[in-house]
Amino acid sequence: MNENAGAGAMDAKVIPFVETRGPAATKDRILDAAEALFMEHGFEATSLRLITTKAGVNLAAVNYHFGSKEELFQAVLTRRLDPMNQERLSLLSSLEQFAAPHPVPCEKILSAMFVPALNLARDPARGGKNFLRLLGRAYADPAPFIRQFLSGQYAVMITRFKAAFGRALPELPKKELSWRLHFIMGALSYTLAGTDALKLIAELNPTDTGNDEMLLRRLAPFLLAGLTSPLPEESNEASRALDGDLPRTR
């Protein structure tokens, strides 16, 4: 047996935080540290050195559990997004069973989208508002891998909700519905993730403590109105050109 290899193997085992707390605890500490730092600084400005220092681990632990900074970022999002999206799907399924054979009304479909996000925002153990702020930053990040990852994470949920909205709004063309759902997700993410709306509430009503509920009470009717608004005029050439139906003119 190679003596140097044996010594290296022994050195690799001497990792106090693994020995005393276990691999699962180490992984959680890395995720918690990365979540806080990604939220504060964004993906590009957060180095692995910052993360390892905050988590109290070495770089080998990050490489062992996640492989790279990109994979770590995805893991940070996945541990919060998967349960939230599953809760959304379960709530939508319950509403569909209750309403059958009729379609679920749009306002109830929106509630199935909002309530799980609100539950997460109220639960610090699941990341709370800080995670939603991180999610907002992720949506605005130009990195292609982040956009592709988020599209994949939301694909099943968006397909189910799009089908539910399609049954509730049969007169709405699929292309138009896709655009409106895109705007809904953007508005929801920005509202729950940002601090501007919370500052506005504090200025308008400093004594209010139900900030998240007030946000949803104000956002839901706005989105519902957008969902059910009349279709754009077919004779509007500018709108049709944007949709690719007419050639653009200089």
Selected residue with higher pLDDT from 79 and 123: 79
Percent of all residues in the chain with a pLDDT value above 70, rounded to a whole number: 74
What is the CA 186 to chain-centroid distance, rounded? 10
Task: Tell me if the domain spanning 76-242 has CATH number 3.20.19.10.
Answer: no
Do the beta carbons of residue 46 and residue 73 sit within 8 Å? no
What pLDDT band is residue 249 in, cutting at 50, 70 and 90? very low
Model confidence pLDDT, tens digit, residues 10-43: 344 433 434 345 678 899 999 999 999 998 898 9
pLDDT score, position 175:
92
> Does 58 score more than 50 pLDDT?
yes
CATH number of 14-67: 1.10.10.60
The SS3 call for residue 31 is helix
Do the beta carbons of residue 117 and residue 133 sit within 8 Å? no
pLDDT score, position 245:
53
User: Across residues 119-123, what is the average pLDDT?
Assistant: 83
Q: Is the pTM of this model over 0.85?
A: no
Q: Which two tokens stand for residue 151?
A: 């599209």
Distance between CA atoms of residues 198 and 215, nearest Å: 8
pLDDT score, position 61:
94
User: Across residues 226-236, what is the average pLDDT?
Assistant: 76
User: Across residues 187-213, what is the average pLDDT?
Assistant: 59
pLDDT score, position 16:
40
Give the relative orientation of helices 48-55 and 23-41 as an angle to the nearest 10 degrees. 130
pLDDT score, position 10:
36
Helices (H), ranges, 100-227: 106-121, 128-140, 144-168, 174-193, 196-204, 211-227
State the chain's maximal CA–CA distance in angstroms.
81
Give the relative orientation of helices 106-121 and 128-140 as an angle to the nearest 10 degrees. 110
Domain ranges across the chain: 14-67, 76-242
> Does 110 score more than 70 pLDDT?
yes
What pLDDT band is residue 89 in, cutting at 50, 70 and 90? very high
pLDDT score, position 26:
92
User: What is the DSSP secondary structure assignment for residue 173, as one 8-state letter?
Assistant: -
> Does 227 score more than 80 pLDDT?
yes
What is the CA 183 to chain-centroid distance, rounded? 14
pLDDT score, position 159:
93
Q: Helix-strand-coil percent breakdown of the chain, rounded to 5?
A: 75, 0, 25
User: Across residues 156-171, what is the average pLDDT?
Assistant: 94
Among the listed ranges 27-31, 48-52, 244-248, which one has the minimum average pLDDT value? 244-248
Q: Which two tokens stand for residue 226?
A: 């957008």
pLDDT score, position 198:
52
> Does 147 score more than 70 pLDDT?
yes
